């Protein structure tokens, strides 16, 4: 398969990569760029673990071709904290104890980020619906929802 | 709980929480070593088939392929991937019936060959080029059918596909006499189902040999010391030549009480002498790794008119699947929890483990206990109905109390089961709801309950030796070094809390070193809800010892007796005159950089808890009460 050179804007940094057109975004992030914070649990777009934001839209990176994301702004879990300070969602996940094994956490947080960007004042039901595509096998959903609600409040009060 | 606790009982962040929320935490699937190859497995598309021929010649020629291995390239040693025959003591043990790569496929997903190549795409292409000639054999999927004469034989040694007949070792009384004394006898058979563990992180492993032949393996495990021993035996290596490291672990739920992909990954690394990473796809994980055992379980209960249980008997068919794995350990646990909840003078249980051509079973959350509870509580409800007795009263009459003996033969230290039932009944409005009308047009109403007990620590059947080091640093912080690992419950954070509490330090002063066979003392593993209890007690013991040494040293400096001192918030102070104090950091620096020969052994302390009685018996009781409303058509 013919490889191409492509430039990606990830977490406000430009990466020049030589890649085959059949490489998924998850493979690009995890294998080529060592951005392993994005997890792949199912590889077929069922579990939400691999969620990243592409031009602000939540995107399943395991089921998206990397090449389709050129010229777009990508945000992964590694880019969420700014200047050494955790994003309100990250703080809230730590404080609420919304982490068990932690494997679903990056995907949950990225999905929640997209949700709060669109709806800064969601109800619990809206949070549940928003995170409906993200699986937590440890079944820590209650605290995850608590964390998103707490983060929403923090952000409304002036956090990022 | 004591009122003046300063770290325990506080809401504190999970261990390594910041690493997890920023994506910095490294799980096995995230690891990458220089020159690392990617491993892939070729699995059988047939449920039952003998391999007549494997042609790997074309695949081997593919550029980028480093090696291809089949059953001829792996140790011709039979093994069982379960760790239970190393950490549990029970008469039958776990049968060994597996090879690293098989010569005969026994389920769809059985691994017949493996490839190591420069990247995943090349390895996958190589798999397509391997030609396997199968002689497809008749397959069988139902354990009851598998036991019938004439059923296809899955393992040559196991007649009628029965691998093992098991009797519960701690039976007592005479069950037949017990049933003859009963006014009501109920017998029923239920079938439970398989369930995949489905941890989120796909089963994976990285293995690397150094130039002297020492193996380092990064892989998720609940029992990495026993895993290391089993791997050593399988590959004819001394245990000391293997270092097992547990990275962050994306869920286990009993799965990693067995090997995952380690044997194949190590075989590839050994052949190529290069680091190899083997990571299952979700599909491979679903078809090739542990599921809950399915049971066909028959229970019998005898009860007198007044509700006294006179006899309990169980017979189980354990649906192992293609290999034995945890079949006897889970069945034993299941039997103990069927027989152990209620006071009963006559108990017995037995069962058969049966092979079929479905994927392997293994350890899975609850480990036989949910199945035991399901069977027992159905029987109790049926008996109550026959007696015309409130099922809650029937249970209250028979649950064991403080000082009575558990099925493992140890006295119960709690009597919360009775309290649990009473509180639950009150909260849910048991009496009122039972008195309500049960029918209203097309609607039917009902209320039900079930109770069970669980253990904290698996004694006397399981090894519960727990070992901890505490090492003080010059800044007054401490390294807590444990052979126990984190599998998602924040056990390591809890450990840090316990250590900080005893030492008079802050939570953030405890630096955890865990999940590495080279740096810690032996630990049996994470099992039977006993981690916090067992390791926590070891931490209390070792931290108390460290504290004593600190106080003795300070007592000489301040010319007081050690009893007059205490430590709080990083300071050692005279209790009667708290102004007189030194910081833990000062005393640590003094003890470590000491040119006068006065160096005290406060840097390293270890403790060894063995068969501590309080680990067992049951520390937990649960009660499930549910008000069910169902619409019937």
pLDDT higher for B631 or B363? B363
| Whether pLDDT at B614 is above 50 | no
> What are the pLDDT digits (tens) for A130-155?
999 999 999 899 999 999 999 999 99
**Average pLDDT over every residue of B24-41:** 98
| Whether pLDDT at B223 is above 60 | yes
**What does the pLDDT read at residue B621?**
35
Residue A153 dihedral angles phi and psi, to the nearest 5°: -65, -45
pLDDT band at B616 (very low <50, low <70, confident <90, very high): very low
A102·B281 Cβ contact <8 A: no
ipTM of the complex: 0.98
Hey, what CATH topology would domain A88-156 get?
DNA polymerase; domain 1 (1.10.150)
Distance between alpha carbon B117 and the CA centroid of its chain, in Å?
33
A76 touches chain B (CB under 8 A): yes
**What does the pLDDT read at residue B85?**
79
The hierarchical CATH code for the domain B28-137+203-280 is 3.90.1170.50
A90·B32 Cβ contact <8 A: no
**What does the pLDDT read at residue B129?**
98
Q: What does each C-alpha distance from B9 to B2, B492, B539, B621 come to in angstroms?
A: 10, 15, 16, 21
> What are the pLDDT digits (tens) for B119-172?
999 999 999 999 999 999 999 999 999 999 999 999 999 999 999 999 988 889
| Whether pLDDT at B230 is above 80 | yes
A3 touches chain B (CB under 8 A): no
pLDDT band at B610 (very low <50, low <70, confident <90, very high): very low
Kindly report the nearest CA distance between residue B121 and chain A, in angstroms.
Answer: 10
Hey, of B13, B16, B21, which one would you mutate to test binding to chain A, going by the most A CBs within 10 A of its CB?
A: B21
**What does the pLDDT read at residue B533?**
83
State the Cα–Cα distance between residues B349 and A131, nearest whole angstrom: 46
pLDDT band at A89 (very low <50, low <70, confident <90, very high): very high
For residue A90, list chain B residues with Cβ-Cβ distance below 8 A: 18, 21-22
A101·B249 Cβ contact <8 A: yes
**What does the pLDDT read at residue B537?**
87
What's this model's pTM, rounded to 2 decimal places? 0.94
Distance between alpha carbon B586 and the CA centroid of its chain, in Å?
42
Average pLDDT, chain B: 90
A78·B22 Cβ contact <8 A: yes
B200·A103 Cβ contact <8 A: yes
% of chain B residues with pLDDT over 90: 71
Count of CB pairs separated by less than 8 Å, A with B: 104
Residue B78 dihedral angles phi and psi, to the nearest 5°: -90, 140
State the Cα–Cα distance between residues B366 and B358, nearest whole angstrom: 21
In chain A, which residue's Cα lies nearest the Cα of B365?
A138
Hey, of A32, A103, A136, which one would you mutate to test binding to chain B, going by the most B CBs within 10 A of its CB?
A: A103
A103·B22 Cβ contact <8 A: no
> What are the pLDDT digits (tens) for A56-76?
999 999 999 999 999 999 999
Q: Where exactly are the structural domains of chain A? A: 4-79, 88-156
> What are the pLDDT digits (tens) for B540-582?
988 998 899 899 989 999 999 999 999 999 999 999 999 999 9
Contacts of B509 (CB under 8 A, 6+ apart): B476, B477, B478, B500, B503, B570
B487·A101 Cβ contact <8 A: yes
**What does the pLDDT read at residue B344?**
96
A30·B13 Cβ contact <8 A: no
Of B20, B23, B249, the CB nearest to A99: B20
pLDDT higher for B184 or B626? B184
| Whether pLDDT at B385 is above 80 | yes
pLDDT higher for B76 or B604? B76
Kindly report the nearest CA distance between residue A71 and chain B, in angstroms.
Answer: 24
**What does the pLDDT read at residue B599?**
53
**What does the pLDDT read at residue B93?**
64
pLDDT band at B404 (very low <50, low <70, confident <90, very high): confident
A41 touches chain B (CB under 8 A): yes
State the Cα–Cα distance between residues B200 and B489, nearest whole angstrom: 15
State the Cα–Cα distance between residues B526 and A61, nearest whole angstrom: 34
Nearest-5° Cα angle at B375, B371 to B378: 135
**What does the pLDDT read at residue B612?**
38
Q: Where exactly are the structural domains of chain B? A: 28-137+203-280, 466-615
> What are the pLDDT digits (tens) for B187-212?
999 999 999 999 999 999 999 999 99
Neighbours of A27 (CB within 10 A): 20
In chain A, which residue's Cα lies nearest the Cα of B10?
A95
Hey, of B14, B22, B123, which one would you mutate to test binding to chain A, going by the most A CBs within 10 A of its CB?
A: B22
| Whether pLDDT at B457 is above 80 | no
User: For A29-43, B240-254, B328-342, B524-538, which range has the lowest pLDDT when averaged over its residues?
Assistant: B524-538
B488·A100 Cβ contact <8 A: yes
Neighbours of B78 (CB within 10 A): 11
State the Cα–Cα distance between residues B502 and B507, nearest whole angstrom: 11
User: Among B419, B383, B384, B385, which Cα is nearest to B399's?
Assistant: B419
A76·B29 Cβ contact <8 A: no
B23·A35 Cβ contact <8 A: yes
Distance between alpha carbon B545 and the CA centroid of its chain, in Å?
30
So what CATH class is B466-615? alpha beta
pLDDT band at B467 (very low <50, low <70, confident <90, very high): confident
**A4-79 against A88-156: fold identical:** no
B488·A77 Cβ contact <8 A: no
Within 93-132 of A, beta carbons closer than 8 Å to B belong to: 93-95, 97, 99-106, 109
> What are the pLDDT digits (tens) for B251-273?
999 999 999 999 999 999 999 99
So what CATH class is A4-79? alpha beta
pLDDT band at B613 (very low <50, low <70, confident <90, very high): very low
Within 7-26 of A, beta carbons closer than 8 Å to B belong to: none
B21·A109 Cβ contact <8 A: yes
**Average pLDDT over every residue of B394-423:** 81
Of B20, B29, B252, the CB nearest to A105: B20
**What does the pLDDT read at residue B6?**
94
pLDDT higher for B90 or B429? B429
A94·B13 Cβ contact <8 A: yes
| Whether pLDDT at B184 is above 50 | yes
């Amino acid at each position: 398969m013919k490889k191409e050179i492509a430039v990606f804007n990830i977490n406000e940094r430009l990466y020049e990569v030589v890649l085959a057109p059949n490489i998924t975004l998850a493979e690009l992030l995890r294998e080529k760029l060592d951005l392993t914070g994005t997890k792949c649990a199912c590889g077929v777009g069922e579990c939400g673990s691999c969620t990243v934001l592409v031009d602000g839209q939540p995107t399943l990176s395991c089921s998206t071709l990397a090449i389709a994301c050129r010229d777009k702004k990508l945000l992964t879990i590694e880019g969420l904290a700014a200047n050494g300070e955790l994003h309100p969602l990250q703080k809230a996940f730590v404080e609420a104890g919304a982490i068990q094994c932690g494997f679903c956490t990056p995907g949950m947080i990225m999905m929640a980020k997209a949700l709060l960007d669109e709806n800064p004042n969601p109800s619990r039901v809206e949070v549940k619906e928003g995170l409906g595509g993200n699986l937590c096998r440890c079944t820590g959903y209650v605290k995850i929802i608590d964390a998103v609600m707490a983060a929403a409040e923090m952000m409304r009060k002036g956090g990022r | 709980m004591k009122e003046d606790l300063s770290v325990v009982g506080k809401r504190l962040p999970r261990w390594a929480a910041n690493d997890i929320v920023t994506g910095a935490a490294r799980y096995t699937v995230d690891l990458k070593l220089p020159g690392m190859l990617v491993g892939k497995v070729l699995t059988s598309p047939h449920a039952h088939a003998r391999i007549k021929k494997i042609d790997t010649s074309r695949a081997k020629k593919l550029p980028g392929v480093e090696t291809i291995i089949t059953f001829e390239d792996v140790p011709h040693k039979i093994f069982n991937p379960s760790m239970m025959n190393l950490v549990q003591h029970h008469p039958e043990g776990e049968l060994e019936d597996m090879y690293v790569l098989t010569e005969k496929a026994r389920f769809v997903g059985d691994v017949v060959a493996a490839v190591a190549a420069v990247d995943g795409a090349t390895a996958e292409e190589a798999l397509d080029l391997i030609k396997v000639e199968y002689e497809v054999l008749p397959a069988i999927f139902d354990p009851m059918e598998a036991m019938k004469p004439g059923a296809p034989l899955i393992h040559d040694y196991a007649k009628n596909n029965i691998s093992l007949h098991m009797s519960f070792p701690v039976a007592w009384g005479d069950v037949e006499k017990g049933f003859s004394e009963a006014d009501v006898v109920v017998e029923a058979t239920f079938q439970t189902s398989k369930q995949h563990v489905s941890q989120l992180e796909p089963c994976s492993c990285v293995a690397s040999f150094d130039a002297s032949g020492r193996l380092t393996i990064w892989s998720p495990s609940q029992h990495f010391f026993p895993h290391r021993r089993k791997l050593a035996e399988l590959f004819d290596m001394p245990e000391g030549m293997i270092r097992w490291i547990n990275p962050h672990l994306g869920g286990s739920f009993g799965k990693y009480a067995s090997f995952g992909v380690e044997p194949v990954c190590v075989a590839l690394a050994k052949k190529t002498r290069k680091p190899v990473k083997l990571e299952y796809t979700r599909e491979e994980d679903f078809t090739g790794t542990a599921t809950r055992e399915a049971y066909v379980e028959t229970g019998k209960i005898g009860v007198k008119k007044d509700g006294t249980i006179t006899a309990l008997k169980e017979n189980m068919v354990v649906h192992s699947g293609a290999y034995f794995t945890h079949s006897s350990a889970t069945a034993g646990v299941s039997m103990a929890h069927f027989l152990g909840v209620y006071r009963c003078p006559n108990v017995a249980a037995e069962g058969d483990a049966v092979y079929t051509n479905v994927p392997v079973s293994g350890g899975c959350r609850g480990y036989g206990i949910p199945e035991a509870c399901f069977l027992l509580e159905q029987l109790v409800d049926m008996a109550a109905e026959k007696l015309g007795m409130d099922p809650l009263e029937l249970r209250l009459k028979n649950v064991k109390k403080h000082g009575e003996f558990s099925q493992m033969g140890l006295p119960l230290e709690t009597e919360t089961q009775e309290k649990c039932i009473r509180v639950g009944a009150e909260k849910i409005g048991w009496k009122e709801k039972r008195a309500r009308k049960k029918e209203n047009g097309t609607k039917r109403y009902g209320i039900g309950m079930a109770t069970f007990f669980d253990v904290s620590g698996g004694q006397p059947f399981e090894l519960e030796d727990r070992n901890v080091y505490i090492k003080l640093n010059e800044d007054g912080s401490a390294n807590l070094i444990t052979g126990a690992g984190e599998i998602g419950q924040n056990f390591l954070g809890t450990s840090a809390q316990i250590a900080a509490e005893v030492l008079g330090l802050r939570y953030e002063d405890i630096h955890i070193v865990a999940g590495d066979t080279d740096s810690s003392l032996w630990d049996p593993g994470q099992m039977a809800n006993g981690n916090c209890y067992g390791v926590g007690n070891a931490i209390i013991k070792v931290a108390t010892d460290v504290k004593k040494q600190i106080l003795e040293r300070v007592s000489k400096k301040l010319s007081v007796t050690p009893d007059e001192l205490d430590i709080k918030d990083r300071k050692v102070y005279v209790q009667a005159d708290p102004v007189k104090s030194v910081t833990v950091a000062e005393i640590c620096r003094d003890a470590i950089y000491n040119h006068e020969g006065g160096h005290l052994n406060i840097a390293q302390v270890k403790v060894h808890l063995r068969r501590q009685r309080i680990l067992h018996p049951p520390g937990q009781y649960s009660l499930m009460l549910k008000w069910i409303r169902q619409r019937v058509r």
